[in-house]
Structure 1
């Protein structure tokens, strides 16, 4: 069998990817498949062979993107932080605005936040819950989840601060909103989007302390 071509670079041999050897799927496809298995079966099932079977592809493609299974798991943590927090980060990103409009802008962001939680396309509650289940058996993952929780609460606190609440009250309201949402997911309550959208304004009024 002919050997794979090798290119010398800085005195060290490195592999040159031939046309036939190039990966068929990119890194994000592998990560998304890992996310699906994590949600359905837990972290112990996130392994190379099941992933390759799911994608109907050779395992060799995996090793173009990841060194090993641990590298995949580390990438999965980063993937969660990126895809599940992207919309929230964008929601609280600084915007140039007239200070007199800050409260109305904050109220608008709060409404968008609730829609984000209801819609669940840009924020996956299933992915979040799967990460928390993983964190219960892995101290390193638990540390990352706790860090993201603090970061999210800080984002929410910023919204309440912009609405005119004190720093202390803003933190308390942020925690109540966040822990309420986590509790909703953890208890497995199932309500239609129609019901959730109908009661959302009242929830917002209670949580914000402002008539919306």
Structure 2
């Protein structure tokens, strides 16, 4: 019977789950091997050490949460307003637990902070490119881009009730305002 190796992606997925559950300290080779039901020897087939796994984990997260999201939205042959709406439609299906854990980690680790800054800048640049297609002036583009990004990230921190409206209704109202013709 052939020896089956645990795929590289399985180690990365397990590391992402671990960082979401317990921060970077939870990403331990022995614990990951146990969660995958394998010995830790297979880890070294794919990665030289824990740091190599952490770096590749961050690379994979960035690709999934920036490149893949942008590609999914841009593949829709619609205008910029509809693309922003589609981004917000996709957001509830995203698992932001990893993002929140990485943001917390970035406060204590300069390299992770730099990577998160790059992710934020890439996302903001893309939002600016969308809003610039239908907003007047640099200030309007910047304000709407910042508000959209803050709404996407910040809504996972807010647990307030919204009167007789559901959270999804209020988020849609906020998106509608972001996409409106005028803010006057």
Aligned length: 179
Give 2:65's match in structure 1, choosing from 84, 92, 102.
Answer: 84
Aligned counterpart for 1:205 among listed residues 164, 169, 176 = 176
| Structure 2: tracts of 5 or more residues without a match | none
Q: 1:165 to 1:198 in 2, by over 3 A?
A: same
> What residue is the counterpart of 2:54 in the other structure?
73
| Cα contact 1:48–1:62 (8 A) shared by 2 | yes
Answer yes or no: is 1:116 the counterpart of 2:116.
Answer: no
**Which structure has the higher relative contact order (CA within 8 Å, separation 6+)?**
2
Per the alignment, residue 160 of structure 1 pairs with 131
Find runs of 4+ consecutive structure 1 residues off by over 6 angstroms. none
Any conservation in 2 of the 1:92–1:155 contact (CA below 8 Å)? Answer: no
User: Which one has the largest radius of gyration?
Assistant: 1
Alignment of 1:1-212 (within 5 A): 19-20=2-3, 24-91=5-72, 93=74, 105-120=79-94, 124-187=95-158, 195-210=166-181
- State TM-score, norm by structure 2: 0.86
Note the C-alpha offset of 1:91: 4.4
Question: TM-score if structure 1 supplies the norm length?
Answer: 0.75
What's the Cα RMSD here? 2.4
